[in-house]
Amino acid sequence: MFGKPINNIIMRAKDILLSSLLVVFLLNSVIANEEVTTAECGKSLTCYKQPNDATCTSSDTCNVLVMWKHNKNANTIDVILATKADNAYIGWAQNENLTLSNAMAGGKGVVCYFMGSKVKLESFHTTNNEPPSLKPLPTVYNLNNAYKTSKNSVICKFDRKVTVETTSQSLMYDLTDGLHQMYAFGSLNDAGIAIHYHGLKGGDAYITSEKVDLTPPEMVEEVGTDECGKSLTCYKQPNDATCTSSDTCNVLVTWKHNKNANTIDVTLATKADNAYISWAQTNPLNPTAKMAGAKGVVCYFDGSAVKFESFQTTKNTRPTLQATPTGYTLNGAHKTSENSIICKFTRIVTVPSGSENLMYDITDGLYQLYAHGGFKDDLIEYHGLNGAAFSTDEKVDLTSPEKSAEAEVTTDECGKSLTCYKQPNDATCTSSDTCNVLVTWKHNKNANTIDVTLATKADNAYISWAQTNPLNPTAKMAGAKGVVCYFDGSTVKLESFQTTKNTRPTLQATPTGYNLNGAHKTNKNSIICKFTRIVTVPSGSENLMYDITDELYQLYAHGGFKDDLIEYHGLNGAAFSTDEKVDLTSPEKSAEAEVTTDECGKSLTCYKQPNDATCTSSDTCNVLVMWKHDKSANTIDVTLATKADNAYISWAQTDPLNPTAKMTGAKGVVCYFDGSTVKLESFQTTKNTRPTLQATPTGYTLNGAHKTNKNSIICKLTRIVTVPSGSENLMYDITDGLYQLYAHGGFKDDLIEYHGLNGAAFSTDEKVDLTSPEKSVEDEVTTTECGKSLTCYKQPNDATCTSSDTCDVLVMWKHDENANTIDVTLTTKADNAYISWAQTDPLNPTAKMTGAKGVVCYFDGSTVKLESFQTTKNTRPTLQATPTGYTLNGAHKTNKNSIICKLTRIVTVPIGSENLMYDITDGLYQLYAHGGFKDDLIEYHGLNGAAFFTDEKVDLTSPEKSVEAEVTTTECGKSLTCYKQPNDATCTSSDTCNVLVTWKHDKNANTIDVTLATKADNAYIGWAQTDSLNHTAKMTGAKGVVCYFDGSAVKLESFQTTKNTRPTLQVTPTGYTLNGANKTNKNSIICKFTRIVTVPSGSENLMYDITDGLYQLYAHGGFKDNLIEYHGLNGAAFTTDEKVDLTSPEKTVDTPKPRITIPADCTDCDAVVEFQYDEPRQMMVFTLQTKHAWVASAQRPQSAG
């Protein structure tokens, strides 16, 4: 389609050289604008795309993407032209009279193209079927942006007038009427200075067979009733299951109040059978002349356009329509593809000055009027001819729409924080979408109210709840007063009733004393009403409410809705009543289940006996005490529990602890069952004796005391950390640590028995700070950031170890240079009870624990702890408190019972901590172990665990440096010299290249900055140099580096090979500076370093002087058994044919030398073949040298020798 030079621009070589700096500036100044997508196509935008399938979704995946939108007010269209990076241009044109055999004849349009360094938009007009000559845009075009994206898509954004000025007619068509559309894409010509004919070099063109009107917007979708009773309030007719959207309803009005803007958003819709829908308000409502005093709006189709207009009627007559006044904003008026009529608008709640004749203030409720009908002789018809009209029986408050529920309500809190009644009363009824009846309530003693939820599943249309006293067994509804929550087809409502006999109730507005908090349907169409009612009955509400200060019989029912009435529950529902009176102000305090140790070491701190795997809950433990500190309230929440074998559990504190008379000075509480009731009482003992119990003092709040179904005894309480005045005799201040005392036993003769008879007592060896409980973790820790922001050590060092629940050893750390600390996480999976981490120097290979100083993170059966140790010989360590220099940030178990400790330690060693800490300023050997816990001791790791150590010293203060993004080839051939594999368009960044090596010479510093990168499929990338390339054994004489991921960390190490073999890696010598070694978010591997051009003394074995050119070697591959794999297995290797001068980018040196010298006496030889056995690879390498070229191949020998 296109092919002539643009404006005949011919740039001379000198001009190109002189403008190079400008080109670089322009390229670097282009904003990386975003791609454009097809997300709004068919909605707010009209679009044309090629390929017209699911592969074309944005400017970087489409050959042609043209999007436009008509701006009716400005009489313009906004247009976007876009094409992906494969193309250099996209063209868009119009033609008034299209001839398929001569399509371009008469074409007028624009081309968006990229040439040189800039994206341009230019115009053309073709008089015959030939490539166009481009010209500057006429004045009626306004170019808003022209750019390439980061993915090199070409995009132009502009707007143009719909009509055409006389001066622009040669380049533009008037778009008022439809025109044939033409589209094309393609490339530049071979010289790169003109757009190429679309039929060549992978381009193409398209035309529309019919004329397209660019000025009308896309038809919008139908509006549905899906959100009715949820986020929207609705009125619909017919009010049944047949009316579900704008194409099935005669009347569909939806609205939503915007409280902040003081407006309501309204949609009026009617199906194709009608020509209009009207909506109005009035007050009062004249039953015999409802239109009298009405003010409203009509959405109608006049045969050519959908219009929205207002009216006011003073009598019962057809309204005269006029323009909507100030206070209305029309958001859209259109017909759908099904010819439904839809108007969307916003109106102000209050009435602006001057609009009073046509609008009511809707701050308060008004009667609502609705109608639909036909259109004839430029007038809306009387609704009685081919339509209908409707009105509401009550005033409607448009500013109090439905309140949407985010989720179903469940029975999770039933018997806990809520009292509940449900049907069916079995395991099938668990939430509002599975229960026929679900009523939950909670008494608010301070407000003297109850909060109530009524819910029923989608099979039903209503749920009712009422009270009565007395209960007439044969006519239960007699004397009932209550409420019904129901869906009338459009809206969920809550209304009241009173019945004097056994009959279906007549519903009416809820009286004073009820406050509706929400009435809605859920996404599963469950019906839910939430409300608050006063316990006592307000004056005037006696007919519809009982005082619930005292107990009443409860009545429940569910059923259907038909003919604007709730159905009798006996048809498609059921009714239920309680056998006894229920006190709604005294909800259940019983626990449905035992308390467990699941959160011990997580959100709770615990003490349990027996301290082993048999004690897991209140029905298996003799002693189970759990607590959590509430810092804000300065309280602790405590649970005391014991199994059915016991009658009490006690918990006390003392300081100091008398080892021979532990009860001396104790103050505490006892939770006990006295044969009829579970009680919580306090005591103080001045000597070692059985305590005398008394009422708990001020400072304790009892939250629950009960027996479970298994007769376990449980007390839940809250106590203040500090001691209130007057409670000193029975309470210790627990701001600081205290010794803890625990006991369990029997109850006899109205006294708790001495624990030595049928129980036991226990005490802690150290003071316990009750205000520093475990810190809960939300989930496992993972290896995702290993080699990125964190340095890690893990075992097993393979793909199976990915998180705290799959690793035996996972240690992660990060150095905080500003604070001079390291943040450390120690973790091990549930199979283990501890993980240890220590340092030593020197490392004794036969007694590695000698001289070790470190920490152990372990679970002792109740709590996760972090403690320190020092070992002077190869033995199991004795644990002790961590010294100054350590800060514990968290010690806990996860939901999968992994063990995790998080800590911070100072790099240098504080005075007094030398015995338990090494200074980690310099590198140290690292020791790791995991194992079990038995008899209050960590087990020797050789029994059920393992131990590991590092072969080299590790510097903990030089962790990985994270990269924010992949490295790309964008600067290759510009500021950087690069080598990449594969050497094609697929390799553009570290996540798409097997080999990507970039470098830049710093002449002033006499160094080169190098980046090695490889994609996630590989575990390493190697880069080396050699001075004399041995083509049959290329690794001979190589010196270089390998950037690799060993499963835990990315490392850069050096090597030297004297033969063709896999290298042995070692620490990089003086002359290298590592700037970063990390994995990216896409798991690419990247090392960045600087090396000196010349070789420092002592580094000669591992480095070549790169002042002059050298042959370059590259490789990539896998990592297995702690070694980089041979690149021939899962990788590849590459060499340069010529020496490369690394200090002069883009320039090679040396003259190619023949691979094999053809003997002079071989005058008739066309080629010579040389072969050599490659022992490391066990391959025979054949080299063929011709007079013009060479090729090498390798084949594994079929037999030995």
- What is the pLDDT confidence band of residue 365, given thresholds at 50, 70 and 90? confident
* pLDDT tens profile 671-729: 998 765 678 999 999 998 889 999 999 999 998 877 787 889 999 999 999 999 999 99
Q: Which two tokens stand for residue 1133?
A: 């290797």
CATH superfamily of 605-763: Cellobiose dehydrogenase, cytochrome domain (2.60.40.1210)
In 776-863, which ranges are E strands? 791-795, 809-816, 821-828, 834-840, 852-859
Residue 419 is which amino acid?
T
Residue 488 has which token pair? 């009338």
Coil vs helix vs strand at 271: coil
CB–CB of 852/873 below 8 Å? no
Evaluate the CA torsion angle 370, 371, 375, 377 in order and state its sign.
negative
Share of the chain above pLDDT 90, in %: 53
Residue partners of 112: CB distance under 8 A and separation at least 6: 81, 82, 83, 89, 90, 91, 119, 120, 121, 146, 154, 155, 156
Residue 499 · residue 477 · CB < 8 Å: yes
CA distance 1016 to 1119: 12
Distance of alpha carbon 499 from its chain centroid, rounded? Answer: 53
Cα angle value 915/921/924 (rounded, 5°): 70
- Give me 343's structure tokens: 């108007």
Long-range contacts of 345-348 (CB under 8 A, 24+ apart): 345/265, 345/266, 345/268, 345/297, 345/308, 346/258, 346/263, 346/264, 346/265, 346/266, 347/263, 347/264, 347/266, 348/262, 348/263
Evaluate if residue 2 carries a pLDDT over 50.
no
861 versus 606: the higher-pLDDT residue is: 606
pLDDT on residue 158: 96
Q: Considering only residues 1155 and 139, tell me which one the structure prediction assigns the higher pLDDT.
A: 139
Q: What is the pTM of this model?
A: 0.37
* Spatial distance between the Cα atoms of 322 and 319, rounded to a whole number of angstroms: 9
Task: For residue 912, give the amino acid letter.
Answer: G
- Residue 22: which residues within 8 A CB-CB, separation 6 or more? none
Evaluate whether 737 touches 769 at the Cβ level (below 8 Å).
Answer: yes
Residue indicated by tokens 């896998």:
1118
CATH of region 46-212, choose from 2.40.128.20, 2.60.40.1210, 2.30.110.10, 3.30.465.10: 2.60.40.1210
At residue 807, the pLDDT reads: 96
592 pLDDT tier (thresholds 50, 70, 90): very low
Place of tokens 């990539």: 1116
pLDDT at 1186 over 80: no
Token readout for 870 is 């020092």
Rg (CA), the chain: 42
Alpha helices in 777-864, H assignment, sequence order: none
pLDDT of residue 303: 72
HEC states along 284-324? CCCCCCCCCCEEEEEEEECCCCEEEEEEEECCCCCCCCECC
pLDDT digit string, tens, across residues 267-312: 999 999 999 999 999 999 998 888 999 999 999 987 766 889 999 9
Backbone angles phi, psi at 355, to 5 degrees: -105, 10
pLDDT (tens digit per residue) in 681-696: 999 999 988 899 999 9
CB distance 81 to 156 below 8 Å:
yes
Report domain 977-1140's class: mainly beta
Type of residue at 322: Q
For domain 233-396, which architecture applies? Sandwich (2.60)
SS3 content of the chain, % helix, strand, coil (to 5): 5, 45, 55
Kindly state the DSSP code that residue 502 receives in the 8-state scheme.
S
Structure confidence at residue 875 (pLDDT): 86
* Strongest mean pLDDT among 119-133, 336-350, 1142-1156: 336-350
Residues 494/508, Cβ–Cβ less than 8 Å: no
Residue 82 pLDDT > 90, yes or no?
yes
Structure tokens at 731: 């309470």
* Whether the predicted pLDDT of 1178 surpasses 50: no
Averaged confidence pLDDT in the chain: 85
Bridging pattern class, strands 1132-1135 and 946-949 = unpaired
- Check whether domain 419-577 has CATH 2.60.40.1210, yes or no: yes
Q: Is 1086 helix (H, G, I), strand (E, B) or coil?
A: strand
User: How do beta strands 107-115 and 89-95 pair?
Assistant: antiparallel
The pLDDT value given to residue 773:
53
d(CA 946, CA 958): 27
Higher pLDDT: 446 or 112? It is 112
Cis peptide before 473 (omega within 30 of 0): no
Q: Is the pLDDT of residue 39 over 60?
A: yes
Query: What gap in Å lies between CA 1039 and CA 1057, rounded to an integer?
Result: 7
Q: Is the pLDDT of residue 1108 over 90?
A: no
DSSP 842-890: S--TT-TTTTEEEEEEEE-SS-EEEEEEEESSSSPPPPB---TTEEEEE
Encode burial over 156-175: b for 16+ CB neighbours within 10 A, e otherwise: bbbbbbbebeeebeebbbeb
For residue 107, the cross-strand partners are 126
Q: Do 626 and 604 touch, CB atoms closer than 8 A?
A: yes
- b/e code 663-678 from CB counts within 10 Å (16+ = b): bebbbbbbbbbeeeeb
Hey, what's the torsion of the CAs at 853, 856, 860, 862, to 10 degrees? 130
pLDDT higher than threshold 60 for residue 542: yes
pLDDT at 403 over 70: no
> Which three-class secondary structure state does DSSP give residue 637?
strand
pLDDT, tens digit (0-9, with 9 covering 90-100), for 616-636: 999 999 999 999 999 889 999
- Helix/strand/coil (H, E, C) string of 427-478? CCCCECCCCCEEEEEEEECCCCEEEEEEEECCCCCEEEEEEECCCCCCCCCC
- Closest C-alpha among 1039, 1038, 1020, 1046 to residue 1131: 1020
What pLDDT is attached to residue 1077?
86
Choose the weakest-confidence range: 784-798, 803-817, 1002-1016, 1149-1163.
1149-1163
Supply angle C-alpha 532, 536, 538, rounded to 5: 85
**In the chain, where are the structural domains located?**
46-212, 233-396, 419-577, 605-763, 791-954, 977-1140
Q: Do domains 605-763 and 791-954 have the same CATH topology?
A: yes
18: pLDDT strictly greater than 70? no
pLDDT of 704: 82
Two tokens at 1193?
Answer: 């191949």
Q: Cis link prior to 724 (omega < 30° from 0)? A: no
CA atoms within 13 A on the CB side of 87: 32
Instruction: Return the minimum-mean-pLDDT range out of 192-206, 363-377, 779-793, 850-864.
Output: 192-206
pLDDT (tens digit per residue) in 153-200: 999 999 999 888 777 777 888 888 788 999 999 988 776 667 777 777
User: What is the CATH superfamily name and number for domain 791-954?
Assistant: Cellobiose dehydrogenase, cytochrome domain (2.60.40.1210)
Mean pLDDT of 1081-1109: 93
